[in-house]
């Protein structure tokens, strides 16, 4: 069992930045590709970004390319999402996810989410 705990969400003005963190409980953290998904009110959960096991490859949805950066520190069992130039449409609950496959079509573990609110 892997527990994922997100942090770093909050309220920020448009154009601002936030850094999300996701701490994983597993010593086998580097066995998983890690990603971030988000879900806005009334919308389906959507993929945001993913990073491969050794951080050699990263993947982004088109709407965040050039603004968000995903990274991981396997020594700290932590994955990060640096979000810059935030827009109101980025407002959502952001979920950390762990998967043994890329693309992240199936998710083995989810975090409980952290809320990001971007004001205009």
3-state class (DSSP) for residue 100: coil
For residues 101, 103, 109 and 114, what is the CA-based torsion angle, rounded to 10 degrees?
Answer: 150
Span 9-47, pLDDT tens digits: 999 999 999 999 999 997 788 899 999 999 999 999 999
* Whether residue 7 has pLDDT greater than 80: yes
- Determine the average pLDDT of the residues in 62-83: 97
Assign 103 a pLDDT band (cuts: 50, 70, 90).
Answer: confident
- The set of residues, in sequence order, having a beta carbon less than 8 Å from that of 72 and lying 6+ positions away, is 34, 51, 55, 78, 79, 80
Span 79-101, pLDDT tens digits: 999 999 999 999 999 999 999 98
Mean pLDDT for the chain?
95
3-state class (DSSP) for residue 111: coil
Distance CA 43, CA 6 (A): 21
* Whether residue 1 has pLDDT greater than 90: no
pLDDT for 47 equals 97
pLDDT for 28 equals 84
* Whether residue 51 has pLDDT greater than 90: yes
Distance CA 26, CA 50 (A): 18
3-state class (DSSP) for residue 95: strand
Q: How far is CA 40 from CA 25, 29, 81, 87, in A?
A: 27, 28, 17, 13
């Amino acid at each position: 069992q892997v527990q994922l705990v997100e942090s770093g969400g909050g309220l920020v003005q448009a154009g601002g930045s936030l850094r999300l963190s996701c701490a994983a409980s597993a010593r086998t953290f580097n066995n998983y590709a890690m990603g971030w998904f988000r879900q806005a009110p009334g919308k389906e959960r959507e993929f945001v970004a993913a990073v491969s096991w050794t951080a050699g490859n990263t993947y982004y949805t088109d709407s965040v390319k050039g603004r968000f950066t995903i990274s991981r520190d396997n020594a700290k069992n932590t994955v990060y999402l640096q979000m810059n130039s935030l827009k109101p449409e980025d407002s959502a609950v952001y979920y950390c996810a762990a998967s043994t496959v890329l693309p992240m079509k199936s998710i083995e573990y989810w975090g409980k989410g952290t809320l990001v609110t971007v004001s205009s």
